[in-house]
A and B are shown apart, each in its own frame.
Chain A
Amino acid sequence: MTSPLQQKIKITGPSMVTANRTSDGVVIYRTAKQGWSASLSDAAIVRTSDEARALLAEANADDVGAVGAYIAPVELKDGGEIKPGNLRERIRSKGLTIDLLPA
């Protein structure tokens, strides 16, 4: 869970590009259609470092729409389902791991 700020572009497995939406901060994923989606299932999947670099560059070009784009790992399930590849992305995708109220 190294901070993406220090991330070098070198991927070791299937990855996606994610960011937060500028207007409201919502977690978004770069799609294969040069857009953004709030759903991880819409994320464009890259498999090589060159592809990752290209997808990130394209995402970064949208400075108005998105903030802080970075590459993050995913797990691909049989049947093509996309799952977050680490705890940080699981939390970003599924929300808090904690109870907000005492229990």
Chain B
Amino acid sequence: MPLVKNGRITTDLFVHVADGAELPGDGDILISAERFLADPDILSRRPGKTGVVWPNNRAVDDLVPYLERLAAVALVFPTFRDGRAYSQARLLRERHGYDGELRATGQVLRDQFVFMSRAGFDAFEVKKDADADAFAETMKRYSVFYQPTGDGRLTALNRRMQLRHSESAGQ
């Protein structure tokens, strides 16, 4: 499964470690929320970076105390039709100021890339190779956005108000 990060297909340096499995001695790992919360000291104990796979039915509040030290948070789309992780992503980015890697996992498909990016995801475990190849192209689909999110894109309203100000300034 290709990983797209910062707009490009890249090698995934993180290893998904299943709950029962032994942790590798070094290297970057992604572990479940349950495993992490049972042993948050793991952050300082291992040489590699730690990321958490956070389920979409648990409030992200429980993760907030650790955000500064986490290298990655992976949110889950069990199917692309289940949109809970969009809210979690926005809360992490916009309310809790999380600025590490925010990864989309699960059924991650081309036609949701723009929504995910706007909600704050910057890494994508893409289900299909063809979709990963089309990432850059797909991100260019839209140039107009109505809603303000934390993604820095100007909204239609911002642009209209700017236009208005520049028009009135020019008079």
Do A and B touch each other in the complex, judged by CB within 8 A?
no
